[in-house]
Structure 1
Amino acid sequence: MTTTTTPLPGSQAHTDGGWGNKSAPVIPVQTRSDRPTSFDPADFGTPNGREVNWKHTPIDRLGALLQDDESDADAVLISTTAPDTLFVPSAGVDAAVRGEVFRPEDVVSAIVWKRSTDALHVQIPADEELAEPVRIDLSGAGSGLHSRSHIIIEAMPNARGTVLLYHSGSAQYAQNVEIIVRDGANLTVLSVQRWDGDAVHVASHQARVDRDASLTHLIVSLGGSVVRINPSVELAGAGSDARLFGVSFADAGQHFESQVYMHHKGPHTKGDVLYKGALQGADARSVWIGDVLIGPDATGTDSYEANRNLVLTDGARADSIPNLEIQTGDIQGAGHASATGRFDDEQLFYLLSRGITEPEARRLVVLGFLSEIVQRIGIPVLEAELIEAIERELEEGQDR
């Protein structure tokens, strides 16, 4: 666990959970790169909602995921669609590869590390290109059950492939995903959340991209009560690049959250982050926090992050917080943007003037807004399924 100095006498409590906290009187974390890590859940303690990485999350709805206890058997059933040769044994927390990249940043991911002694390890062989995506279905067996799992996705040198994590059913589910993209490899990781309305899903995705390698990481959240998936990507190798995309549609009472971190570590790296969300209904909530760190050795970096939100009804709320830290002056470019708003009245008026009804006009606007991300999935059948699901969300919202 990272230690820091104690504050000066008389300092007051801070919203980051540091100064004034008698149990842990430390200077509050100011940047994502300074967050402490530990494999021991006891080092984190139970969050109280004032910590910098928890203050936007409804921790009272996370239930058993905050407790360091055994999971319920068969709470989440895992099935795979891929050749058996792509799965390698990973028994014990000291198994080969496990922990090469992943270090827990919060109590939930530390509990997952401790309690998931065996991992599901997908390995795409060197110089091989997969003809079909590897599909991993994770199906919840009941809202009163809780489960945890650690998943490793590894693309060996010059490998090419796609891995899909597809979540459905209902459960309280905590997940660590460790992603390793070795030299020259090209990997796509998709995480789709089609949970039932009472499910809770908290996940930490951590990736390292090596020399001249490429990672596309895409999150689609359309179901669940609380879905919090935090991707962290280290562009470690020279010439590496990563594209991080996300799309969500939050309905009444749903909370969808992503805290995105991209660390440009090697020279001549490229990063592109784009998350889009739509919200409708009372207490629909989305949270996006985007942190980009361009390190002192990341010369020639080109990085951009953006978050766009479309609020469809009163009572919905989108929080969007982009952050950029640059530690070298030798870069090609870096920037960030955030926008949250309602329908564009001019765009809506144009469609209405062409004889299109208002419900249909709204449907077209929302689909056009979110399709930009969905169409980047690259699996036509899945893209069609998700577009249909978004249309169904819109119809149900208009009927209420």
Structure 2
Amino acid sequence: MSIATTQTPGQHGATAHSDGGWGAVEVPVQTRSERFTSTDPAEFPDVTGLEIDWKLTPVATVRDLIDGSLDGGAYSLQEQPEGSGTVEWIAMDDARIGSAGIPEDKAAANAWSSTERALAVEISGEEPIAIGLDRSGFGDAARAAHTVITAREGSTGHVVLRSSGRATLAENVEIVVEQGASLTVISLQEWDDDSLHLASHFAQVGRDAKLTHIVISLGGAVVRVNPSAHLSGEGSNGELYGLYFADAGQHLEQRVYLHHEAAHTVGRVNYKGALQGEGARTVWVGDVLIGPDATGTDSYEQNRNLVLTGGTRADSIPNLEIETGDILGAGHASATGRFDDEQLFYLQSRGITEPEARRLVVIGFLNEIVQKVGDPALEEYLTGRIIAELGGAA
């Protein structure tokens, strides 16, 4: 059974509106929350690569994940739980499925409808719980996956979803943070160089609850992770962070949506990336929507990109919609640039070699996001990975 909401899709998966007397002319939906959603891929129009959500993505490369046949069976999983959290496989008709959101694009709907069983992670109790989920061995076949992470009322949790090896994967990740809970979810992509990965993350954050969501993309040929967080409870807090490092020929993409639905919510979006090598490409699109009931909102989003060599391209598009005038503040920013020659000169004047100076600048630039991880061992590992990406010795 499929689930669908909003309107029937029109041009490029969007619907027309009548403002301005457009009549029969179809124009894309202007408000981010009004996009068509469904779990049935047949209800979405064919993806041509001209759609606003796909025009920056190498559609031909990921075509099989958008509308091809996907293997939705269980995959190899290594669990590293600490505390009383539970990890189990559940049926797709379980009540938890669809509790955080449903797909806005055809690839996510294809993954949803193809998945046979979902992985359910649950955090409960008063003691902090840490769960590590290591995934590898997806193989050569195009696959689908679904994960549901639930932090019960008043709980505190830290979940790391770590992906490595070879994969051609489309997946959905649902996150529910109940009243008064605090949850950190880290999605770490360390795929092999030829891997393809399309992921949609959906989150609902309840009253006085907090979600820290971190996307870290380091490996893979094409990796596109789209987080969608809804601050649906009064006083809720959403912090969405991202770190990515694109090498030659690599495409790393993030489309972030933060919806302030309830009053007195706080949102922070901060993504940082580095690019080096011919054909390295990153895409970041940030959408923040402050709804009509979200009075007292405090929100800010930003994206920063550091270009290390020629032949790279970074697309950065921040968007902000505000539907109420009664807010504490909101803003958005974007910047893409190369090394600061003055920084390099200063370090070299102190006897530091140019390669080491470059490493220090990049590590300092990305360390702001690394420090949000909240796990010293993982933070140290990520710093070493960044150094390795730069061609230095960890």
Classify 1:73/1:272 alpha carbon distance in 2 versus 1 (closer, same or farther; 3 Å): closer
In structure 2, the partner of 1:191 is 187
In structure 1, the partner of 2:131 is 134
- Paired residues for 1:202-241 under 5 Å: 202-241=198-237
Classify 1:157/1:5 alpha carbon distance in 2 versus 1 (closer, same or farther; 3 Å): closer
Residue 79 of structure 1: CA displacement? 2.2
Tell me which stretches of 4 or more aligned residues in structure 1 moved more than 6 Å.
Answer: 14-19
Judge conservation of contact 1:183–1:210 (CA < 8 Å) in 2.
yes
The CA distance in 1 between the partners of 2:342 and 2:311, in whole Å, is: 23
In structure 2, the partner of 1:104 is 103
Aligned length: 382
The CA distance in 1 between the partners of 2:30 and 2:240, in whole Å, is: 23
The CA distance in 1 between the partners of 2:330 and 2:349, in whole Å, is: 40
SS at match of 1:53: coil
Amino acid at match of 1:41: P
SS at match of 2:378: helix
The CA distance in 1 between the partners of 2:186 and 2:27, in whole Å, is: 37
- Paired residues for 1:360-375 under 5 Å: 360-375=356-371
In structure 2, the partner of 1:34 is 34
Judge conservation of contact 1:38–1:104 (CA < 8 Å) in 2.
yes
Identity percentage of aligned residues: 54
Q: Does residue 1:340 correspond to 2:336, yes or no?
A: yes
Amino acid at match of 2:80: T
The CA distance in 2 between the partners of 1:225 and 1:346, in whole Å, is: 34
Amino acid at match of 2:86: F
In structure 2, the partner of 1:80 is 79
Residues 85-129 of structure 1 show CA distances to partners (whole Å, capped at 9, x for unaligned) of: 633656433212211122111111111111113211111114342
In structure 2, the partner of 1:117 is 116
Residues 339-362 of structure 1 show CA distances to partners (whole Å, capped at 9, x for unaligned) of: 000011111111122221111111
Classify 1:184/1:396 alpha carbon distance in 2 versus 1 (closer, same or farther; 3 Å): same
Amino acid at match of 1:53: D
The CA distance in 2 between the partners of 1:235 and 1:108, in whole Å, is: 25
Residues 189-216 of structure 1 show CA distances to partners (whole Å, capped at 9, x for unaligned) of: 0001111100111100000000000000
RMSD: 2.3
Q: TM-score, normalised by structure 1?
A: 0.90
Q: Which runs of 5+ in 1 are unaligned?
A: 7-13
In structure 2, the partner of 1:3 is 7
The CA distance in 1 between the partners of 2:65 and 2:392, in whole Å, is: 30
SS at match of 2:136: strand
The CA distance in 2 between the partners of 1:119 and 1:246, in whole Å, is: 25
Q: TM-score, normalised by structure 2?
A: 0.92
Classify 1:88/1:277 alpha carbon distance in 2 versus 1 (closer, same or farther; 3 Å): closer
The CA distance in 1 between the partners of 2:366 and 2:203, in whole Å, is: 25
The CA distance in 1 between the partners of 2:373 and 2:146, in whole Å, is: 24
In structure 1, the partner of 2:93 is 94
Classify 1:396/1:51 alpha carbon distance in 2 versus 1 (closer, same or farther; 3 Å): farther
Residues 158-192 of structure 1 show CA distances to partners (whole Å, capped at 9, x for unaligned) of: 00010100000011011100000000000000001
Residue 69 of structure 1: CA displacement? 2.1
Classify 1:109/1:25 alpha carbon distance in 2 versus 1 (closer, same or farther; 3 Å): farther
- Paired residues for 1:200-279 under 5 Å: 200-279=196-275
Residue 307 of structure 1: CA displacement? 0.3
In structure 2, the partner of 1:10 is none
